[in-house]
A and B are shown apart, each in its own frame.
Chain A
Amino acid sequence: MKKYGKQIIGCVAAAAVYAAVMILVNGGFLSRQMMSLIIPVCMNIILAVSLCMVVGFLGELSLGHAAFMSIGAYSGALILKSGLPTVAALPLAVLVGGVCAALLGLLVGIPVLRLRGDYLAITTLGFGEIIKSVFNAATPVTGGAGGLKKIPPVTTYRNFTFVYILMLLVILLVSNLVKSRHGRAICAIRDNYIAAEAIGIKVSFFKTMAFVIAAFMAGMAGVVYAGNIGILKPVNFDYNTSIEILVMVVLGGMGNITGSIIAAFLLTVLPEMLRGLSNYRMLVYAIALIAMMLFNNSPLKRMLVEKHNMRQAGKIE
């Protein structure tokens, strides 16, 4: 019964957020600046939640999430530009973007099977830079450094509903996955891969699977990005972008989907809220980031968590 309670709360919250956004947008209560943030927030939530699966649940550090996003963005954008009616083009683009990114995920999955930890991290970073270079060089298809331009603006805040559903879908799929035998296998690998193997979990298979699913979702987010900004440039998918997504996941408390969502929202909106500080904006952002990380691991927060743990342990004794 408790399980269903959580699901009901989730549904109500999702509907309430949707209603609130629609009222704010259509009622003209939002500034244009805030309206232009709606889609980026959704997109970043998709990215953060999908990366959360790799970093939080699988426990592998990936610095190449932006590469998956870029593959999705470019392939999806080519579909959007093909002249199909939006009704058909948009879902198709999202699907193709996701699939292309997933294929890259499979490719990246190969070294994933051999490498761990920081070596894997640097490899994913390397993959990202390779993709970026290739996009830069493949001018006839990608427009090179000048970028792929004139992508129809099909995922602006006017198409909020579509993007929102996509976002909910991603959140739902990831949180569903976590509460399943596949999710348990992935988490088991994170906690102790030797023990995971010993209980019959195929570590390589599940690692690759996590990467592929996360890549698929990042690819979809890329299509949303393409349809929102209208121009794709390889430089926007460098490791800094990957790191920004990673920051959301870590700040959200690794392996915590709700945390990732909140962090994605905050970190997208925060720099805009700080515009009033003009030149000091990024400085304050940096300080805020450090402060949030320090708080997350401060004695105060730890005390709260430990109290909870003690209560559990106390009950056992």
Chain B
Amino acid sequence: MALLNGILAQLLNGLRIGSIYALIALGYTMVYGIAKMINFAHGDIIMVGAYALYVFVSLLHVHPALAVVLTIGFCAVMGITIEKIAYKPLRNAQRLAVLITAIGVSYLLQNLALLIFKATPIPFGSIIRVPSITVGEITISGLTMVTLAVTAVVMVGLTLFVNHTKMGHSMLAVSEDQGAAKLMGINVDRTITITFAIGSALAAVAGILYISQYESLLPTLGALPGIKAFVAAVLGGIGSIPGAMIGGLVLGIIESMSKAYISTQLADAIVFSMLVVVLLLKPSGILGKLSIEKV
């Protein structure tokens, strides 16, 4: 019974961190699926979202609900700006060129935050207060439930948006073939800009939930969840919206299970080994489409 409770508790720990990964991975996968670029700065937009929320709530004393909206708006605008300045001129360049620029943007955001907010972590209490639920000996944290719910809603919302709106269809078209989409009268630039706006807004949501969970602001806070979420997105099949959700949750659970029952020292090694194994068995991730080149 104790063992079972232990396993259950560790599963919940996995869900807690996994739901955050999933939320971030959704943003990654969205941008990747449509703009076909790995946005290495995605994690740093989460950081910006977290700091923005802090500025609105603690420094400007805006009502938390409004602050959430403002934060999402701020990040979306920032996403658009970054896209316009740093990525758009590279639309026709090699894909790697954009990747490197994204890394540059990541450095830029981190160092800007460092200059503005300094290196010392800033404590910032959660604005989301949801009571935990206790079932038997197991306690489920309120925030975990909120994060899971938000991630699920976002996933469903994104799927509906992509499949049932005009903009969504444009996105699908652009993701299939930019050139053809352009010929069909789709405004590719605008579609990609909107993709970035949505991706950044999702990053903001992730940032808000992340900071509510961990309550400490650091200029580098986005880096690690960013890279883990990237792994999650690939694990789930990058470009696939439900894949991102599954990848995130699976990654979180593997992580907490290997920490609990194998080795905390080698947890990262185990997580990445799992990734390699999954990709060897299924080269395009759990839910990814294998694109076969037509000969």
Across-interface contacts of B266 in A (CB, < 8 A) = 133-134, 137
Q: How large is the interface on B (under 10, 10 to 19, 20 to 34, 35 or more residues)?
A: 35 or more
A239 contacts B by Cβ under 8 Å: yes
B201 contacts A by Cβ under 8 Å: no
With both beta carbons as reference points, the residue of chain B lying nearest to A285 in the complex is identified as B107
Select which of A136, A137, A194 is within 8 A of B295 by beta carbon: A194
Chain A residues within 8 Å of chain B by Cβ, number? 43
When the two chains form their complex, are residues A282 and B285 in contact, meaning their CB atoms are under 8 A apart? no
Select which of B101, B112, B276 is within 8 A of A127 by beta carbon: B276
B268 contacts A by Cβ under 8 Å: yes
B137 contacts A by Cβ under 8 Å: no
B101-125 interface code vs A (CB 8 A; 1 in, 0 out): 1011101100110110000000000
When the two chains form their complex, are residues A293 and B276 in contact, meaning their CB atoms are under 8 A apart? no
Chain B interface main SS type: helix
When the two chains form their complex, are residues B38 and A129 in contact, meaning their CB atoms are under 8 A apart? no
Across-interface contacts of A134 in B (CB, < 8 A) = 266, 269
Across-interface contacts of A243 in B (CB, < 8 A) = 103
Shortest distance between the CB of B109 and any CB in chain A (Å): 8
Given A55-B96, A114-B280, A129-B272, do A239 and B227 touch, yes or no (CB 8 Å)?
Answer: yes
Given A194-B295, A289-B103, A297-B93, do A122 and B275 touch, yes or no (CB 8 Å)?
Answer: yes
B246 contacts A by Cβ under 8 Å: no
A1 contacts B by Cβ under 8 Å: no
**A61 to B115 Cα, complex, angstroms:** 32
Given A239-B227, A283-B111, do A293 and B104 touch, yes or no (CB 8 Å)?
Answer: yes
With both beta carbons as reference points, the residue of chain A lying nearest to B89 in the complex is identified as A294
**A279 to B113 Cα, complex, angstroms:** 12
A296 contacts B by Cβ under 8 Å: yes
When the two chains form their complex, are residues A297 and B279 in contact, meaning their CB atoms are under 8 A apart? no
**A115 to B247 Cα, complex, angstroms:** 18
Across-interface contacts of B295 in A (CB, < 8 A) = 194
B283 contacts A by Cβ under 8 Å: yes
When the two chains form their complex, are residues A280 and B276 in contact, meaning their CB atoms are under 8 A apart? no
Interface residues of B in 22-81 (CB under 8 A from A): 32, 38
Shortest distance between the CB of B182 and any CB in chain A (Å): 19
Across-interface contacts of A289 in B (CB, < 8 A) = 100-101, 103-104, 107
B96, B227, B293 pick with most chain A CB within 10 angstroms: B96
Q: Name the segment of B141-149, B172-180, B204-212, B230-238 touching the other chain.
A: B230-238
A87 contacts B by Cβ under 8 Å: no
Select which of A130, A246, A286 is within 8 A of B108 by beta carbon: A286
When the two chains form their complex, are residues A298 and B283 in contact, meaning their CB atoms are under 8 A apart? no
B86 contacts A by Cβ under 8 Å: yes
With both beta carbons as reference points, the residue of chain A lying nearest to B281 in the complex is identified as A114
B273 contacts A by Cβ under 8 Å: yes
Across-interface contacts of B165 in A (CB, < 8 A) = none
Given A250-B96, A280-B115, A283-B115, do A122 and B230 touch, yes or no (CB 8 Å)?
Answer: yes
Interface residues of A in 116-135 (CB under 8 A from B): 116, 118-119, 121-123, 125-127, 129-130, 132-134
With both beta carbons as reference points, the residue of chain A lying nearest to B118 in the complex is identified as A279
Across-interface contacts of B32 in A (CB, < 8 A) = 118
A97-120 interface code vs B (CB 8 A; 1 in, 0 out): 000000000000001001110110
B225-253 interface code vs A (CB 8 A; 1 in, 0 out): 00100110010001000000000000000
When the two chains form their complex, are residues B107 and A293 in contact, meaning their CB atoms are under 8 A apart? no
When the two chains form their complex, are residues A133 and B97 in contact, meaning their CB atoms are under 8 A apart? no
Across-interface contacts of B272 in A (CB, < 8 A) = 125-127, 129-130, 133
Select which of B103, B111, B269, B280 is within 8 A of A130 by beta carbon: B269
B residues lining the A interface (CB < 8 Å): 32, 38, 86, 89-90, 92-94, 96-97, 99-101, 103-105, 107-108, 111-112, 114-115, 227, 230-231, 234, 238, 263, 265-269, 272-273, 275-276, 279-280, 283-285, 293, 295
Q: List 25 A-B contacts (CB under 8 A).
A: A55-B96, A61-B99, A115-B279, A116-B283, A118-B32, A122-B231, A122-B275, A123-B275, A127-B272, A127-B276, A130-B273, A137-B266, A247-B100, A279-B115, A280-B115, A283-B115, A286-B104, A290-B104, A293-B101, A294-B86, A294-B89, A297-B89, A297-B90, A297-B97, A298-B89
A residues lining the B interface (CB < 8 Å): 55, 61, 111, 114-116, 118-119, 121-123, 125-127, 129-130, 132-134, 136-137, 194, 239, 243, 246-247, 250-251, 254, 279-280, 282-283, 285-287, 289-290, 293-294, 296-298
